Amino acid sequence: MARSALLNVMVQAALKAGRRLSRDFGELENLQVSRKGPGDFVSSADLQAEQTIKEELQKARPNFGFLMEESGEHEGADKSHRWIIDPLDGTTNFLHGIPMFAISIALEHEGRIVAGIIYNPATDDLFTAERGRGAFYNDRRMRVAARDDFHDCVIATGVPHLGRGRHKPYLDQLETIMADVSGLRSTGSAALDMAYVATGRFDGYWEEFLYPWDVAAGILLVREAGGFVTDINGGDDMFKSGSVIAANEAIRRHIQHGLKKAQNK
Ligand code: IPD
Ligand code: CA
Ligand code: CA
Ligand code: CA
């Protein structure tokens, strides 16, 4: 299916920022890195990518607002549209030379995500979706995995790190889910974890303590690939709760059930 003009704008912005990220990835020793909190880093590459994406999107749609990880929220003259941007999801991977990171851009219209892209410049993997028009991986249609036996599933999760999340409840979750599935994985990028659910590589994914920019594009990708995304309680409050479960509906229920069981440990 041909991309809309708007999706093209998003793709062009990501490709431009991605070219620069790829150059920086090859010269990590030249980056300026600072610490936002314990275990939480930001580099000149994150900031430069955010600036490039913002400029490109603003050129095309000057009135839209922004919610961005590094520079926060800016209201636009058009209050009904807002870009939600993570310029570099997986900064820790990036800074360690691990080629698993992504640019995530979503467009929200009246509180609903209507377009989303996730782009990994290191592998040139591009995942796109528009509301009602399906989800695509490098222009091929994506579907979530159809597997419904939880025991056969590979499930992804984000592992809380220094300064992030509560570790004991997470270990209970891990213990419960891993006893039931054939494999657990973690890419270190919430955006890629969700894109991989949309492609069917991962059968499901859960994580807590996330921000809207980590998951906004991923939510649309998974839904447009035929999957289901909820917060940890099965509701629709992913942004406020910071929690996400994504999978086909049978597997999503299994994960939700497992996480509930873990709460009573
Ligand atoms: C992080 C990644 C990671 C997740 C962390 C996020 P960042 O985002 O998405 O997978 O586990 O919670 O903070 O800071 O690299 O953009
Ligand atoms: Ca960050
Ligand atoms: Ca992120
Ligand atoms: Ca980031």
Complete domains list, the chain, with CATH: 5-141 (3.30.540.10), 150-263 (3.40.190.80)
What per-residue confidence (pLDDT) applies to 196? 98
> Which residue(s) pair with 128 in the sheet?
117, 136
Question: Ligand 1: which of 88, 214, 219, 244 to mutate, most ligand atoms within 8 Å of CB?
Answer: 214
119, 132 contact by CB (below 8 A): no
Residue with tokens 């509930």: 260
**ipTM exceeding 0.90?**
yes
Among residues 264, 238, 260, 248, the alpha carbon closest in space to that of 177 is found at 260
> Which residue(s) pair with 57 in the sheet?
none
Among residues 57, 107, 78, 54, the alpha carbon closest in space to that of 216 is found at 107
228, 246 contact by CB (below 8 A): yes
- The response to whether residue 86 sits with its C-beta less than 6 Å from ligand 1 reads yes
Ligand 1 nearest-atom number relative to CA 101: 15
Taking the CA of 92 as reference, the closest ligand is: 1
Burial (Cβ within 10 Å: 0-12, 13-18, ≥19) of residue 32: exposed
- The response to whether residue 90 sits with its C-beta less than 6 Å from ligand 1 reads yes
Among residues 188, 142, 129, the alpha carbon closest in space to that of 11 is found at 129
Distance 207 CA to ligand 2 centre (A): 15
What per-residue confidence (pLDDT) applies to 1? 67
What per-residue confidence (pLDDT) applies to 161? 81
Compute CA distances 67 → 30, 106, 114, 123, 162, whole Å: 28, 10, 15, 26, 25
CB contact set of 128 (below 8 Å; sequence gap of 6+): 3, 7, 10, 11, 115, 116, 117, 135, 136, 221
What per-residue confidence (pLDDT) applies to 165? 66
pLDDT in tens, the chain (265 residues): 688 999 999 999 999 999 999 999 999 999 999 999 888 899 999 999 999 999 999 999 999 999 999 999 999 999 999 999 999 999 999 999 999 999 999 999 999 999 999 999 999 999 999 999 999 999 899 999 999 999 999 999 999 887 776 788 999 999 999 999 999 999 999 999 999 999 999 999 999 999 999 999 999 999 999 999 999 999 999 999 999 999 999 999 999 999 999 998 8
Ligand 1 nearest-atom number relative to CA 187: 10
- The response to whether residue 208 sits with its C-beta less than 6 Å from ligand 1 reads no
Distance 88 CA to ligand 2 centre (A): 8
- The response to whether residue 93 sits with its C-beta less than 6 Å from ligand 1 reads no
Question: Ligand 1: which of 210, 213, 215 to mutate, most ligand atoms within 8 Å of CB?
Answer: 210
